[in-house]
Amino acid sequence: MAAFYVRARRVCARFVAYSKACNGQALALQPGTRFYGQGRGLQEKLPGGLKVGKTALSVAFVLGGTLGLYHTVRYYLQQELHRAEQQYPKQAPSAGLSLTLYQYKTCPFCSKVRAFLDFHSLPYEIVEVNPVLRKEIKFSNYRKVPILIGDDGEKVQINDSSVIISAIKTYLLSRHRNLTRVISYYPEMKSKNEKGKEVVEYNNKYWVMLEEQDENQFYPTKEARKYVNLECT
């Protein structure tokens, strides 16, 4: 999607180059045309009451040119955004899904989850966790944040920011819209590190897990599949 911003900058660059090529010539409206100019010939042809100085004409050119450029670039960006949204359509939020996010406000991983939920216009409640006592998450054996509790008729706990994002994205794209089924795609794996401490990881945490029919509908090309996987990391 970032490509259309690059093309918009090229439009601006061409406009600036054209302006420089005019050597600062300001423009004054002629009857029946959209050509503008400045100089003694034009000034002498204007009626006395319409003669204006070079500074006034220059200001008029700058204001008019800037406004025209703004509307041109705005229209161009709107068109490119529309094309991008058609290529990567946003899914409508599920009315049957209730979400509660347990977080530390300043935690970057929690901010990452909030940004994802906000981008997809998913309503959610926030529970601020005391970083010392953590009484708010005493129900969980997983003692880190973020934790997302999803309820689509059955409550499901989702741990780890990357798993949360990948699982909710999968849920939104899936035909089944079953959160319990989606979570089964991200199995928990326990192991011990070099210090003998137990650590928990999740398989497929960076992947959107779609059935072939859903994958072909939303991401028919390899480029599109690469895009969505990068989006969820």
The yes-or-no verdict on residue 51 having pLDDT over 90 is no
What does the pLDDT look like over 162-175, one tens digit per residue?
Answer: 999 999 999 999 88
Give which of 116, 108, 69, 81 is closest to 228, Cα–Cα.
Answer: 116
The pLDDT confidence band at residue 193, using thresholds 50, 70 and 90, is confident
pLDDT tens profile 215-228: 888 877 766 554 44
- Find, among 207, 210, 202, the residue nearest to 229 by Cα: 207
Mean pLDDT taken over the chain: 74
**Which pTM was predicted?**
0.57
Q: Rounded CA gap, 87 and 3, in Å?
A: 13
CA distances from residue 19 to 5, 39, 54 in whole angstroms, order as listed: 21, 17, 17
Mean pLDDT, residues 40-45:
48
Q: Is 219 helix (H, G, I), strand (E, B) or coil?
A: coil
The closest alpha carbon to 106, from 125, 124, 141, 131, belongs to 131
The residues, any chain, with a CB within 8 Å of residue 93's CB and separated by 6 or more, are 120, 121, 122, 123, 172
pLDDT exceeds 90 at position 150: yes
Of 61-65, 73-77, 136-140, the least confident: 61-65
pLDDT on residue 165? 97
- CA angle centred on 156, ends 141 and 123, rounded to 5°: 115
Lowest mean pLDDT among 185-194, 201-210, 220-229: 220-229
Residues with a catalytic annotation lie at 104, 107, 109-110
d(CA 155, CA 231): 26
pLDDT for residue 124: 97
Q: What percent of the chain has pLDDT over 70?
A: 56
